[in-house]
């Protein structure tokens, strides 16, 4: 199996005030889709505005990357939030991102929960449902970006059941378990470009990934997810794009989909 086209997304706008993370100016020109941080785990209104400018100039698609309210932990620490909390956190951040992007002529494309917010939805159908409801209630067209495993995950299943388009992600810079899950433990380490190229090539050629234990397992995904906070994020984005181009595969956002039904009753 060879794919005809692939989406490449990357988290962006994760700087905060005077502090800079990432190489967004480089990365934005290699990808099809950006996920913008919204101020809870990273980002702030001014950073968001500058990121919107970058995205507009690059002409790519943009979604919202909401996180838990934990700047000190970069949204990566589990917090015991309620479903009501989570719904409100997502709705608030989607709205903020949508407005700032909209002020630059960019329509919000999707929502991709960050770090511990995403992780919380794996263990709890109630929390997953809260996130999905918030997406339905605040997005122009409800689209969820998320990793999906062979076994299927709580939130993607709920999202599909409620008419939300799910875009499956594949993480070329993470290790995978035999169950098809990306291993989330990662650091701000330099990423090996050669390894990433091989992983990307294998996925695009054979639709598989080789797991930590050496097994080659099938993976389905609509989008590569790159990490914008690696010290060599720009280099990685460049080699991924180059690899995709060499294989003659088109880079295209994962946007063509049927209009959702079953939207939440609170939708205005």
Is 65 in a helix, a strand, or coil?
strand
Q: Which of 2, 57, 59, 99 binds a copy of itself (CB under 8 A)?
A: 99
Residue 105-124 contact track with a copy of itself, rule CB under 8 A, x = bound = xxx--------x--------
Q: For residue 39, which of 73, 11, 14 has the smallest C-alpha distance? A: 14
Residue 261 makes contact with a copy of itself by CB under 8 A: no
Stretch that binds a copy of itself, among 90-98, 162-170, 210-218, 244-252 (CB under 8 A): 90-98
Q: Which of 91, 155, 167, 200 binds a copy of itself (CB under 8 A)?
A: 91
- Cα 171 to Cα 199: distance, rounded to the nearest angstrom: 9
- Residue 183, phi then psi, degrees to nearest 5: -90, 120
- Cα 155 to Cα 167: distance, rounded to the nearest angstrom: 12
- Cα 170 to Cα 244: distance, rounded to the nearest angstrom: 14
Cβ contact 232:240 at 8 Å: no
Residue 60 makes contact with a copy of itself by CB under 8 A: no
- Cα 86 to Cα 217: distance, rounded to the nearest angstrom: 33
Enumerate residues 121-150 that contact a copy of itself by CB under 8 A: 134, 137-138
State the nearest-atom distance from the C-beta of 250 to a copy of itself, in Å. Answer: 27
Quick one: DSSP state of residue 247? T
Quick one: DSSP state of residue 233? H
Residue 16-35 contact track with a copy of itself, rule CB under 8 A, x = bound = xxxxxx--------------
Residue 97 makes contact with a copy of itself by CB under 8 A: yes
Cβ contact 208:217 at 8 Å: yes
Q: Which C-beta is closer to a copy of itself: that of 27 or that of 130?
A: 130
Q: Which of 26, 78, 197, 217 binds a copy of itself (CB under 8 A)?
A: 78
Residue 179-218 contact track with a copy of itself, rule CB under 8 A, x = bound = ---------x------------------------------
101-116 as b/e: b if 16+ CB within 10 A: beeeebebbbbbbbbb
Q: Which C-beta is closer to a copy of itself: that of 100 or that of 200?
A: 100
Q: Which C-beta is closer to a copy of itself: that of 174 or that of 199?
A: 174
DSSP letter string, 13-35:
---BTTB--S-HHHHTTT-SEEE
Quick one: DSSP state of residue 183? P
Residue 267 makes contact with a copy of itself by CB under 8 A: yes
- Cα 143 to Cα 113: distance, rounded to the nearest angstrom: 11
Stretch that binds a copy of itself, among 1-9, 79-87, 178-186, 236-244 (CB under 8 A): 79-87
State the nearest-atom distance from the C-beta of 133 to a copy of itself, in Å. Answer: 9
Q: In the block, which residue shows the tokens 């993470």?
A: 174
Binding residues for a copy of itself, rule CB under 8 A, total 55
Chain positions contacting a copy of itself, by CB under 8 A = 15-21, 39, 42, 44-46, 48-49, 69-74, 77-81, 84-85, 87-89, 91-100, 102-107, 116, 134, 137-138, 188, 229, 266-268
């Amino acid at each position: 199996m060879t794919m005809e086209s692939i989406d490449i997304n990357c988290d962006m706008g994760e700087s905060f005030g005077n502090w800079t993370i990432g190489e967004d100016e480089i990365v934005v020109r290699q990808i099809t889709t950006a996920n913008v941080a919204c101020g809870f785990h990273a980002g702030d209104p001014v950073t968001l505005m500058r990121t919107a400018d970058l995205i507009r100039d690059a002409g790519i698609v943009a979604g919202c990357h909401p996180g838990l309210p934990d700047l000190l932990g970069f949204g990566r620490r589990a917090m015991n939030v309620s479903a009501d909390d989570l719904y409100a956190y997502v709705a608030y951040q989607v709205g903020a991102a949508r407005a700032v992007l909209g002020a630059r002529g960019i329509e919000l494309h999707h929502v991709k929960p960050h770090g511990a917010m995403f992780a919380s939805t794996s263990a709890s159908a109630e929390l997953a449902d809260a996130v999905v409801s918030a997406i339905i209630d605040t997005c122009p067209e409800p689209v969820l970006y998320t990793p999906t495993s062979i076994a299927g995950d709580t939130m993607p299943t709920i999202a599909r059941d409620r008419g939300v388009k799910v875009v499956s992600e594949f993480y070329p810079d993470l290790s995978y378990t035999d169950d098809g899950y990306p291993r989330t433990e990662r650091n701000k380490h330099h990423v090996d470009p050669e390894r990433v190229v091989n992983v990307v090539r294998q996925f695009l050629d054979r639709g598989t990934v080789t797991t930590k234990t050496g097994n080659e397992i099938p993976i389905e995904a609509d989008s590569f997810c790159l990490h914008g906070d690696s010290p060599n994020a720009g280099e990685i984005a460049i080699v991924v794009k180059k690899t995709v181009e060499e294989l003659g595969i088109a880079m295209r956002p994962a946007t063509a989909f049927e209009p959702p039904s079953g939207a939440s009753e609170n939708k205005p």
